Structure formats: C-alpha cells, structure tokens
C-alpha cells in the first residue's frame, strides 16, 4: 500500500490537470518550456495508460475485478467512484496515443498560432480521460464540460473567420446539449435516487411501473445529449464544418471526442438497459439502429459530395460514429467486440488522415479542392501535354512517404483488406450474420441486411472519394519542388498508421482483449458487483 501505482486509476486525470495548471503560470514567450512540459506529461500519460490497460487486462473476464478508485475515499454509493475496466482503459490509451501524436505534429508550427495551446491541450486530455474513467453520471457531466471548455478554446486556436464562425455554432450546439444532459441526469436521479452508474443499474429493475416512463424519458434525453456529441444524423450537422475548420492537430485530437459520445451510449445502454434490467431491457436500441444507419448514409453521401479534403475527413468521422451506434444497438457480444476493434482502428485512421490532409494541401495547386468534385462533370481535357520533357524528375522522398501514407489511409477508411479497417468490418458483419455463433444458423432480420448494405456502401463511397482526392493530389498537381514536409510532421502520421498495421498483424491478441471487454459489457452484473463492493484505497483508521 502507499505506492503511486495504488492511485493508477486517477493518474490519467490528475497528471494532465497538474501539467495544464503549471503551464498557465508560464508566459507564452516561454513556449519551448511549455512544449517540453506538455510533451513530458503526455508521454507519461501514455505510460500510465499502458499500465492501466495491463492492469485491466490482467483481471479475469468472468469474475470481473474491475479496477476502482473511490474519490476522497468515500464508500461507493455515496461518493464518486472512478472505474477502469477494459473498455475505459482502452479508451484512455487511445486518447493518450492520439494526444502524443497530435502534440508532436503541433510542435512543428501550430502550437505557436495562439495563446495557451499547451494548457488547453492538457485540459482536453483531462476531460477525455475523466469522461472515460468516471463511474458517476453527474461527474460524467463535469468531465464533459471540462473537455468541451478546452475544446472550445482549441477549436478557435489559430483564429480566423472560418474558425470563429464554425466555433460559434459548435459552442451553441454543445451548450444546448449540456442543458439536455442535466435534464436527463436530474430526471434519472429524481426517479432512481442515485447517480452512481452501477448503483443505478442495480436499481433499474426494481423501479415501479408507474415511474418507468419518467426513467426512460430521462434516459432518452440523456441519450440525445450524447448523440449530439457522437454526431448522429439529425444532430450532427455541426460536426464536419467544425472539424474542417479546426487546425490539423486539434482536428486529429477531436477525432476521439465523438467517440466519447459513442462510449457513453455504449456503456450506459448496456449497463442500465442491458440484460437483467427488467421491463426496460433493450430500451432505445431500435432508435440507435435506425439513427446509426441514417448517420452512415448521410456520412457516405457527404464523403462523396465533399469539395474539400478536410470536410471529407469530417464526414468519415460521421460514418465511423454511425457504424458504432448501429453496432451498439445489436446487443450482441460478437458485434460489440468487432465494433470496439473498429472504434480503435477508425479513430487512429481518421486522426492520421486529419494530420495528412494538411500536408496534402501544401503540395496541391490552388483550387484543386473545388475542382476535385466538379472536374469530371466538366470533362476537362489535359491540355498540358507539352510538359512531357520532365521525364527525368525523380519522385522526392517526402512525396513518396506522403503518398504511401495516403494509400494506407484509404485502405483503412474504406475497410479494404489486408488492414485493420477490413478486419474490423469483417468481424462485425460476420457476427451480424451469425448472431448465435458460427455453428448455429441464426435468423437475420431485414434491418440487418440494410445495415450490412450500408456498411459496404459507405466503404465504397470512401474508396471512390479518396481515390479521386488521391488522383487529383498526387498525379495532377505534381510540382518540381520537393514536398515541404518536416520529419516531426510526418512521423506522427506514420506512428498512427503503423499502429493500425500493428493491429492488423497482432489482430489475435487485440481481438482477444476486445472480446473480453465486450463480454464484460454484456454481463454488467460483474461490473455492478465490483463497483458497489469497491474497496477503499487506504483503510481509514477509526478514532
């Protein structure tokens, strides 16, 4: 007892908070010092996150033994508790990895574009980690707000007309969503009398039929607040504009912010309305399924219609969200496991793509973005045939790296073999078609076929749009100058894509982890028992 590792669960929250607060004392002229502190803190966060995942993976899936941490050492239903099960630990690790990649990228240029970038960056990490780790509904709201407040600052980082205009909408939408969050949480408290998620899940089956409508109304309002964050179809119109307007490293980190909404929906719908929740079991799943399908369709059409590559990336975020929401609605262990794999893979890929987009912008000619969609319609002829003398031009190294990275991104986002995007989609589709396992033949309903069709269509749309972008970027706008790309800008992209490739190669162990995480999610009894019986960190000595 007494070691730092006893407090491992809270470290991913305390560390960014301390680092962010310390950096507030430095003037922006000491940007190098801030960069060093920020880098050190984020690197340490990666270490803690890895330890957390090891700790979470070490425990047995069937008996549970989720890592818990009662804040202020209050016994569980009365105080706030932090919970690190496999899913939460995985999300914290994902956040840390994205954080360090986005940070390294930003050190090339972006961190100097506005004040307090480094502090806001750490506070965003704090909010994200807190949202993933907390086991209390109202504490989730607080961490959401920490995350959002930092994200408002970061979305406006670098200022400029487009960012401020998009930021205004972003702030307004999220403030309204926060009101809904509070209404939902208050309704649930009013009915169930608790805000602790595990306690809530234990009490839901016992709620009287006359109060059940109120509880479900509260959960639905709460769900709408999460779905705004996740960008589900009628609620996600703010997303592509905001993400396209944000600076590249910020957008790369924002790629996980939609996943916070998805995470909350996944966690709460399986915990509170999962098996063993009595009359309310499966509440809202139909809505999630059709909403997710609509999001996929809207995202795929948006991907095809985007005139700028950054917007295209924003619509890829929507497709990813929609896929995850629809997969959540299945309530099937296999589908959930595939969805978790897809979550990690698509977040890494989209994040890398956001970083890559900015590098691509530098090597393309002016207006190529707008032409990309309309060029085919005009049937433009190649009139520059007199430039064939350039046969001796060697493709510069940087350009080759960029185009290979782009190619990997396309494979990941479109879900083509052999990379992890394909494996994730394949796992999901296989589990959807064989809901009872591979041995028994299960019935597949019509909506499943629609979802499968949409999933394949969205991959196809991404393939068309990205191929078009690639052709217009690499083949039509080649300049004689070597691509102006620095090593610390391309390295994070390569790390993110390398992780996806590693996930494809190590698919067995990774998938094993996801399977156990999904199994634990679908059997919330273990989670509930673990949290409610959470031991205090240090035994309080009675006087």
Partner 1 sequence: MELIVAIGIGVLTTCGVFLLLRPRTFQVIIGLCLLSYAVNLFIFGMGRLRLDAAPVLDGGSADISHYTDPVPQALVLTAIVIGFAMTALFLVVLLAARGLTGTDHVDGREH
Neighbours of 540 (CB within 10 A): 9
Count interface residues toward partner 1 (CB under 8 A).
29
CA-CA distance, 503 to 515, in Å (whole number)?
Answer: 15
Nearest approach in angstroms of CB 453 to partner 1 is 36
Q: Which of 18, 183, 464, 495 is in the footprint of partner 1 by CB under 8 A?
A: 183
Q: Which of 65, 178, 281, 434 is in the footprint of partner 1 by CB under 8 A?
A: 178
**CB-based contact 537:69 (threshold 8 Å):** yes
Q: Which of 26, 189, 287, 290 is in the footprint of partner 1 by CB under 8 A?
A: 189
Query: By CB under 8 A, which span of 10-18, 97-105, 142-150, 369-377 interacts with partner 1?
Result: 142-150
Instruction: Determine the distance from the C-alpha atom of residue 114 to the mean position of all C-alpha atoms in its chain, rounded to a whole number.
Output: 25
**CB-based contact 243:321 (threshold 8 Å):** no
Asked if 176 is part of the footprint of partner 1 (rule: CB under 8 A), the reply reads yes
Q: Which of 40, 75, 115, 190 is in the footprint of partner 1 by CB under 8 A?
A: 190
| CB closer to partner 1, 176 vs 471 | 176
CA-CA distance, 139 to 182, in Å (whole number)?
Answer: 11
| Element housing 68 (H / E) | strand 67-70
Nearest approach in angstroms of CB 261 to partner 1 is 18
Asked if 195 is part of the footprint of partner 1 (rule: CB under 8 A), the reply reads yes
| CB closer to partner 1, 149 vs 416 | 149
DSSP, res 474: I
Bridge pairing between strands 67-70 and 81-84: antiparallel
Identify the CA nearest to 131 among candidates 152, 114, 150.
Answer: 150
Which tokens hold the place of 41?
């803190």
| CB closer to partner 1, 144 vs 315 | 144
Asked if 430 is part of the footprint of partner 1 (rule: CB under 8 A), the reply reads no
Which tokens hold the place of 394?
């060697």
CA-CA distance, 308 to 316, in Å (whole number)?
Answer: 13
Asked if 130 is part of the footprint of partner 1 (rule: CB under 8 A), the reply reads no
Nearest approach in angstroms of CB 176 to partner 1 is 6
Asked if 220 is part of the footprint of partner 1 (rule: CB under 8 A), the reply reads no
CA-CA distance, 103 to 249, in Å (whole number)?
Answer: 7
- Among residue numbers 143 through 172, which ones bind partner 1 (CB under 8 A)? 145, 148-149, 152, 156, 159-161, 164-165, 167-169, 171-172
Query: By CB under 8 A, which span of 178-186, 270-278, 332-340, 436-444 interacts with partner 1?
Result: 178-186
| CB closer to partner 1, 243 vs 406 | 243
HSE on the CB side for 12, CA within 13 Å?
A: 36
Asked if 538 is part of the footprint of partner 1 (rule: CB under 8 A), the reply reads no
Nearest approach in angstroms of CB 123 to partner 1 is 13
Neighbours of 131 (CB within 10 A): 28
3-state class percentages of the chain: helix first, strand second, coil last, to nearest 5: 75, 0, 20
Asked if 71 is part of the footprint of partner 1 (rule: CB under 8 A), the reply reads no
CA-CA distance, 186 to 517, in Å (whole number)?
Answer: 29
Judged by the rule CB under 8 A, the positions of this chain that interact with partner 1 are: 138, 142, 145, 148-149, 152, 156, 159-161, 164-165, 167-169, 171-172, 175-176, 178-179, 182-183, 185-187, 189-190, 195
């Amino acid at each position: 007892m007494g070691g730092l590792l006893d407090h491992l669960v809270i470290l991913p929250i305390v560390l960014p908070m301390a680092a962010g607060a310390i950096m507030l004392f430095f003037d922006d002229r000491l940007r190098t010092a801030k960069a060093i502190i920020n880098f050190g803190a984020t690197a340490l966060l990666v270490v803690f996150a890895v330890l957390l995942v090891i700790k979470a993976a070490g425990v047995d899936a069937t008996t549970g033994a989720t890592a818990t941490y009662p804040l202020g050492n209050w016994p569980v239903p009365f105080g706030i508790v932090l919970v690190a099960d496999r899913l939460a630990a995985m999300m914290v690790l994902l956040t840390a990895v994205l954080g360090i990649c986005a940070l390294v990228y930003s050190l090339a240029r972006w961190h100097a574009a506005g004040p307090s970038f480094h502090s806001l960056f750490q506070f965003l990490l704090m909010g994200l980690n807190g949202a993933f780790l907390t086991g209390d509904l109202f504490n989730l709201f607080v961490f959401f707000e920490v995350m959002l407040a930092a994200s408002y600052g970061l979305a406006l980082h670098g200022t400029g007309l487009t960012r401020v205009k998009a930021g205004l909408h972003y702030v307004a939408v999220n403030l309204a969503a926060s009101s809904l969050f509070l209404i939902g949480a208050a309704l649930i408290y009013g009915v169930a009398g608790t805000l602790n998620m595990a306690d809530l899940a234990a009490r839901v089956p016992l709620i009287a039929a006359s109060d059940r409508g109120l509880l479900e109304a509260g959960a639905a309002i709460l769900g709408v607040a999460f779905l705004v964050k996740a960008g589900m179809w009628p609620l996600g119109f703010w997303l592509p504009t905001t993400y396209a307007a944000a600076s590249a490293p910020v957008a790369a980190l924002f790629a996980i912010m939609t996943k916070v909404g998805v995470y909350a929906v996944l966690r709460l719908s399986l915990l509170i309305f999962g098996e063993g929740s009595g009359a309310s079991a499966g509440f809202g799943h139909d809505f999630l399924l059709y909403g997710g399908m609509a999001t996929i369709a809207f995202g795929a059409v948006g991907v095809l219609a985007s005139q700028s590559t950054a917007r295209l990336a924003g619509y890829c975020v929507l497709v990813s969200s929609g896929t995850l929401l629809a997969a959540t609605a299945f309530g099937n262990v296999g589908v959930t496991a595939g969805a978790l794999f897809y979550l990690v893979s698509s977040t890494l890929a989209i994040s890398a793509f956001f970083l890559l987009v900015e590098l691509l912008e530098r090597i393309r000619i002016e207006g190529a973005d707008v032409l990309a969609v309309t060029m085919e319609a005009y049937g433009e002829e190649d009139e520059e045939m007199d430039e064939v003398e350039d046969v001796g031009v060697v493709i510069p190294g940087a350009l080759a790296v960029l185009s290979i990275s782009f190619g990997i991104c396309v494979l990941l986002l479109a879900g083509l073999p052999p990379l992890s995007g394909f494996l994730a989609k394949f796992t999901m589709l296989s589990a959807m078609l064989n809901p009872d396992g591979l041995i028994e033949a299960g019935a597949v309903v019509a909506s499943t076929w629609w979802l499968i069709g949409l999933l394949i269509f969205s991959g196809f749309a991404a393939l068309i749009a990205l191929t078009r972008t690639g052709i217009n970027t690499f083949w039509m706008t080649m300049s004689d100058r070597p691509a102006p790309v620095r090593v610390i800008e391309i390295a994070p992209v390569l790390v993110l894509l390398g992780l996806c490739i590693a996930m494809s190669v190590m698919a067995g162990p990774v998938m094993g982890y996801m399977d156990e995480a999904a199994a634990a999610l679908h059997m919330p009894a273990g989670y509930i028992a673990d949290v409610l019986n959470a031991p205090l960190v240090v035994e309080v000595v009675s006087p």
